[in-house]
Amino acid sequence: MAAAETNFKELLEAMPDPVVIVEDGQIVLANREAEKKFGYSHDALLGQPIEVLLPERFRTVHVGHRQGYERNPHTRPMGIGLELFARRRDGTEFPVEISLSPSESDGHKLVISIIRDISDRKRLEREKDELLATVTHVLDGMTEPVFVVNPQGDVTRANDAAARMIGRPREEILGRPAREVFHWEDAGGRLLDDDEYLYHETFGSVEPLSVSGRYLRRLDGERIPVVISSAPVTDPEQGIRMAVQVVRDVTREREAEELKDRIISLVSHELRTPIGHIKGFASSLLEEDVTWDAETQHDFIVEIDHEADRLATLVADLLDMSKIESGKDFLEIAHHSPLAIVESALRAAERFTREHEVKVDVDPALPDVPADASQLERVICNLVENAAKYTEPNTEIRVQARRGGDAVEFSVSDHGPGIPLEYRDRIFERFFRIKTGNGGRKPGTGLGLPICRGIVEAHGGKLWYESNGGGGSVFRFTIPL
Ligand code: ADP
DSSP for 305-319? HHHHHHHHHHHHHHH
Residue of the CA atom closest to atom 13 of ligand 1: 433
- 344 CA → ligand 1 middle, Å: 22
Give the nearest ligand 1 atom to 423 CA.
Answer: 12
370 lines ligand 1 (CB under 6 A): no
DSSP label at residue 300: H
pLDDT at 364: 83
427 lines ligand 1 (CB under 6 A): yes
pLDDT at 439: 64
Give dist(CA 33, CA 230) in Å, integer. 51
Integer Rg of the chain from CA: 42
225 lines ligand 1 (CB under 6 A): no
456 lines ligand 1 (CB under 6 A): no
Which helix or strand (DSSP H or E) is residue 9 part of?
helix 2-14
Taking only the tens place, the pLDDT of each residue in 208-233 is 888 888 899 888 888 899 998 988 88
Residues in the chain: 481
Give dist(CA 141, CA 86) in Å, integer. 41
79: left (phi over 0), alpha (psi -120 to 50) or beta: left
Grouping H, G, I as helix, E, B as strand and the rest as coil, residue 303 is: helix
- Per the confidence metrics, is the pTM higher than 0.95? no
386 lines ligand 1 (CB under 6 A): yes
Pairing of strands 241-249, 369-371: unpaired
pLDDT at 80: 74
380 and 417 in contact (C-beta within 8 Å)?
Answer: no
Give the nearest ligand 1 atom to 449 CA.
Answer: 6
Q: In what order do the strands lie in the sheet with 473-480?
A: 357-362, 396-404, 407-413, 473-480, 463-467
Choose one of 386, 432, 468 to mutate for the ligand 1 pocket test, by most ligand atoms within 8 angstroms of C-beta: 386
- 449 CA → ligand 1 middle, Å: 7
- 442 CA → ligand 1 middle, Å: 9
pLDDT at 366: 93
| Cβ-based neighbour number of residue 291 at 10 Å | 8
Residue of the CA atom closest to atom 11 of ligand 1: 433
List of the chain residues with pLDDT < 50: none
